[in-house]
Structure 1
């Protein structure tokens, strides 16, 4: 039977609890500016602080973790080497990435992932206990479930907060379905019935988080992961544990059916099944968005096959790929998608890795999937009818994460999810090491000590990646805070000082450029506003609203040539945008270029007659006349229904500084 807990006091206490709290640190509200760019820092800050402190504590209190060797098989060495090589390649991508700060963050995150995998595996092998690794999962799952249920019970109108709720909990749904199957395997393995029942409750809590988060990807991934564990144990597990496995399968089915039907018939909240079937989302807007993002992502891979665009450069380089795709497929209706939406991630981790790292990224994905298949097959073949529940449980967690990563924007990009994945992977790596070992040596135990050599000294530097990520996250968080102070500052000079500090701390903070540009425009400094809007676009904020506002800033500064070039650039990226074509047509008309203007009007009218008429009237004559024309004549779309919706406010308020694009 698996030694799930050896009963000894954990020398890491209370760090596992602190890590569990850090995993849900995104739940803690902090003041933030009006626009949040893709520069996450909260989870990174909290988790890296805990892990850096734990590394230092172990260095001084438990030197044997660094000084002792752990015999590893070829399979184990391969996965450790692959993760380290990928982290090194990420670091190298800083040299060719257009946005090196983003690439640096990606490299630091993956170095931390490697350290988590390496030292979690060593900890299990030397201590023989999973307690230090499972406690953070239990704490995180419990907190997320409690907050999720509280929110569902206290919403006055779920429809009003539906989007916020789903975004808030979807990122934790993936974490839960990665942890849940491992917890289920531990519960089935534990010989102590009372403790096994308690662990099973936490596994059920993880599945509840996935279902109540209303995330389609988390639901499908969790379903796959839990069934993988249950049927895997029924087919390949010990016969003595099949009764537990059958009971767990019955409970799993009952809970799933109860939640799916209960939310529909007893509450106003749709079930996840309703979202998957389209009943709760008949427009299928999120599915259409994913397909379009994948299309452009494949274009990015096509254009950067060898090296990729660099770590975490997918978002800011998205428009380059969109421009390339639009040039080859100008009449594709899907190009109307996301003209006001800032695409930051691919919603498919495999595709994003391929786009950011080219051939080496593709090889990394293929190698990892092949490694997992070979390792699992070898375990099943070697231990016919005796496969460890913990091995199957950890494999189920990895399967769930792999399935979810094909559809979500989180995966390794959400640091807390990546941390949980590598904890589960460490358990799997340790479990395959046990394949073929006798039950009399369940843990692999402490192994022979080695002298202080290069490898030992290298292990003692394990706190450095966490410390570096901690400092990086402080800089990113401080940059965001300075943007907030700049937005609230009363005087222009004070605001400028804050914005410059924000940019100095994080030169790729697109939100800082956007907020600074809006403030400069409202103060009448249109030249500075134009420069800053240009920088915001060049740093990845290229949506139709910002292009339109940049063009307006050039107009007010008397630079009509740049105003035209800006809108022409926007049309090359968003050829199916009715709004930007009408904007361009009216500007050309004002500049005395009637023939070119007519072509743009005709193109817009051919795409959507009512939208084109609505935008023309709104921009030319104002909000009231646009509303009256839609109501009385009926040949135009009313202002409230024009797309993109956030472009309307620039014409309700003629000041420079429109609303932010959708994140």
Structure 2
């Protein structure tokens, strides 16, 4: 009775069960991410793909991973901005050389730290250093399953701990260096005559660096307010804000993608193509290939559209979301006159969703082009059965009625010819 629905124990059981499901999902997601991170490493093992590029390459390599065997059905889909393993991500972005540099820093750090602990008799410094080294070890272990060095707070603390540790370790050496500098300072006294000039140069450099660093941040603010306007369905104001974001950061792919989508909705396809292609260089999203494919399709650039439709299919989070893209790919082949390929694409859509009306209707048009009248009529009848009140069903009735009339006229014509003979 305590396990009945609504009781305290039943709620605890439900929560434990949900937590277990979430944990299983998280583990599978990490395994998938590690696998396609290894694929990235395999492609560029020495120097990597560049710092900060993991999230840009993530969807592309995830798509390749899901194409292998049953991976799509085994592992959950997602968008991994981080690899959930600092070392895999480091090698993916900076290659074996990057990992080697980090290992060298860590080896030198712990080597010097352990030597200092063995030699020093200052218990206070010993205690502080052990605490700092323990914190560094904790971050390094956490990096096996997470991304602490991509979290600003942890990143700052990590390097701060290293810096304080090295300051403790090299304190005596620092004093010796300071004394030698004082001895040499008499030779450098003339430099202080130009102190004001140096100050002005430093201030100018500081302002330049500050403005350079501030521009991407300002661009993100404009993007944020642009997204608010989109939610209000105010596309014109959103477009204005997104374009302002691009003025501050011309390489901000997210903003370029947003501009491209609005221009596509406004049917300004040439400009939409320009912005979406610009976005593609520095940004990636599940929707980007399909948006770009439709822009190409609307401009009769069918070869380019075909490539992007195929990429869009591989980017989808589940099979159901592939259905409209398979249908659009079929439409693209139909326009190209590739009727067999169009037929295959529509059938792929129907394998996933057998009752998808648009695919049945479009498939009927392919059959008509191939003079397969009976198969075409069967598809039209399926459309009428599945969605009797739809626009497609209305057109299907007209086509069938017209076909029946033409068949009657043909038979009557043949009958008249026979009578004349």
TM interval, short-chain normalised: 0.5 to 0.7
Task: Give me the whole-angstrom Cα distance separating, in 2, the residues matched to 1:577 and 1:345.
Answer: 21
Deviation of the 1:431 alpha carbon: 3.0
Matched, 1:475 2:207: no
Note closer, same or farther for the CA distance 1:281–1:324 as it changes in structure 2 (3 Å cut): closer
**Higher CA-based Rg:** 2
Partner of 1:399: 137
CA distance in 1, matches of 2:83, 2:298: 37
Match of 1:563 among 294, 305, 319: 305
Query: Is residue 42 of structure 2 the alignment partner of residue 306 of structure 1?
Result: no
Whole-Å separation in 1 of the counterparts to 2:137 and 2:357: 54
> Residue 305 of structure 1: SS of its match in structure 2?
coil
* Cα pair distance change 1:378/1:620, threshold 3 Å: farther
Structure 1 residue 540 and structure 2 residue 280: aligned?
no
Report 1:250-399 matches (<5 A).
279=19, 281-282=21-22, 284-322=24-62, 325=65, 329=68, 331-333=70-72, 337-338=76-77, 341-382=78-119, 388-399=126-137
Matches within 5 A, 1:11-22: none
Per-residue deviation at 1:356? 1.5
Within 5 Å, which residues of 2 pair with 1:180-259? none
Contact residue 49 and residue 94 of structure 2 kept, 8 A = yes
Match of 1:415 in 2: 152
Q: Deviations over 1:404-449 (max 9, x none)?
A: 222223x333333222212211222123336xx8xxx9x9799424
Secondary structure of the structure 1 residue equivalent to 2:19: coil
Are the counterparts in 1 of residues 55 and 80 from structure 2 also a CA contact under 8 Å?
yes
Q: Are the structure 2 counterparts of residues 580 and 281 from structure 1 closer, same or farther at C-alpha, using a change threshold of 3 Å?
A: closer
Inter-partner Cα distance in structure 2 for 1:408 and 1:311: 18
> Cα offset for 1:298?
1.4
Structure with higher RCO (Cα < 8 A, 6+ apart): 1
Q: Which moved more, 1:468-477 or 1:502-511?
A: 468-477
Is it true that 1:587 corresponds to 2:324 in the alignment?
no
Question: Paired residue for 1:84?
Answer: none
CA shift digits 1:428-483 (9 cap, x unpaired): 2123336xx8xxx9x979942434569x99x9999999766633332012212333
Q: CA separation of 1:498/1:382 partners in 2, compared to 1, >3 Å: closer, same or farther?
A: same
* Counterparts of 1:346 and 1:463, CA distance in 2: 39
Q: Deviations over 1:589-627 (max 9, x none)?
A: 43435533554566677xxx6xx2179459889xxxxxx
Distance of aligned partners of 1:283 and 1:618 in 2 relative to their CA distance in 1, 3 Å threshold: farther
Paired residues of 1:585 and 1:597 also in contact (CA < 8 A): no
For the residue of structure 1 that corresponds to 2:55, the secondary structure is coil
* Contact in 1 for aligned 2:327/2:349 (Cα 8 Å): no
Distance 2:246 2:252 in 1: 6
Indicate the residue corresponding to 1:515 in structure 2.
Answer: 258
Ranges in structure 1 where 5+ consecutive residues have no aligned partner:
1-263, 622-632, 634-663
* Equivalent in the alignment of 1:596: 341
CA distance in 2, matches of 1:278, 1:491: 39
Q: Is the 8 A contact 2:33 2:62 kept in 1?
A: no
Contact preservation (8 Å) 2:58, 2:79: no
Q: Hey, what's the Cα distance between the residues in 2 that align with 1:370 and 1:512?
A: 42
Question: Is the 2:132–2:162 contact (alpha carbons within 8 Å) kept by the matching residues of 1?
Answer: yes
> 1:502: Cα distance to partner?
1.6
For the residues of structure 2 that align with 1:500 and 1:509, how far apart are their CA atoms? 10
The TM-score, its normalising length taken from structure 1, stands at: 0.42
Q: 1:303 to 1:539 in 2, by over 3 A?
A: same
Asked if 1 retains the 8 angstrom alpha-carbon contact of 2:326 and 2:348, the reply is: no
Quick one: structure 1 residues 503 and 559, their matched pair in 2 at CA, closer, same or farther if it must change by over 3 Å? Answer: same
CA distance in 2, matches of 1:385, 1:371: 22
How far did 1:390 drift? 0.5
- Aligned residue number for residue 67 of structure 1: none
TM-score of the superposition, structure 2-length normalised? Answer: 0.63
Aligned 8 A contact 1:342 1:541 in 2:
no
| Shift, 1:287, TM fit | 2.5
Partner Cα separation in structure 2 for residue 289 and residue 464 of structure 1: 47
Whole-Å Cα distance in 2 between the matches of residues 462 and 378 of structure 1? 39
How far off its partner does 1:568 sit? 1.6
Alignment match, 2:415: none
| Greater helix share, structure number | 2
In the alignment, what sits opposite 1:525? 268
